[in-house]
Amino acid sequence: MQLFLDSADTAVLKDLAATGLVDGVTTNPTLIAKAGRPMLEVIAEICDIVEGPVSAEVAAVESQAMLAEGRRLAAVATNVVVKVPLTREGLIATHAFAREGIQTNVTLCFSAPQALLAAKAGASYISPFVGRLDDYGAVGMDLISEIRAIYDNYDFDTEILAASIRNGAHVTAAAIAGADCATIPPDVFAALFKHPLTDKGLDQFLSDWAKTGQSIL
């Protein structure tokens, strides 16, 4: 499963991309607002940091305006993926983008029928929001499983990008359910490296090694 970072903080992205484990980045208007810088400038810098797909979201709500904004975003770098909302207008724009060869990430997906429509429109990625569904009283990860089954039934190329990931358990569940990618906050990504037994074991190994008085170099 590919791991994307959900952030527009370029300093954080540089640090975590250095691990070699970051496959892409997703952004949204809220994250861009927090960055406090011009959107196109931020997206261009992120595209220089990460070779993989970088989702940049349109602000328009009408399809023709989405197309104009999306084409401008796609011109920033070859790895830009235009992010559009899962609305009727958004899917009209998605279909047009697909015909133009522009990759799309259809966001704010909360049901399997929505995901089916996005795939039929030619979306490159579908972003089901599992955490927000959990907040609503549903089991968000069930949606990932439903979409996986539907896409496999009909050989859709659209990749499932699990979004609104809150913790490591969500990452594990998304991988088990067959998500192609998961986009996660930087703090959740950093937590994936950690386990108290790993720390305890390493401390013991280092202590025992120090007692030998040896050096590998």
Q: Which two tokens stand for residue 169?
A: 């358990």
Q: How far apart are CA 42 and CA 38, in angstroms?
A: 6
Q: How far apart are CA 181 and CA 179, in angstroms?
A: 5
Q: Which two tokens stand for residue 149?
A: 């089954």
List, by residue number, the catalytic residues. Answer: 83
First to last CA, the chain: 37
Q: How far apart are CA 53 and CA 63, in angstroms?
A: 23
User: How far is residue 125 from each of residues 34, 61, 135, measured CA to CA in Å?
Assistant: 24, 19, 23
Identity of the amino acid at 116: L
Q: How far apart are CA 128 and CA 164, in angstroms?
A: 8
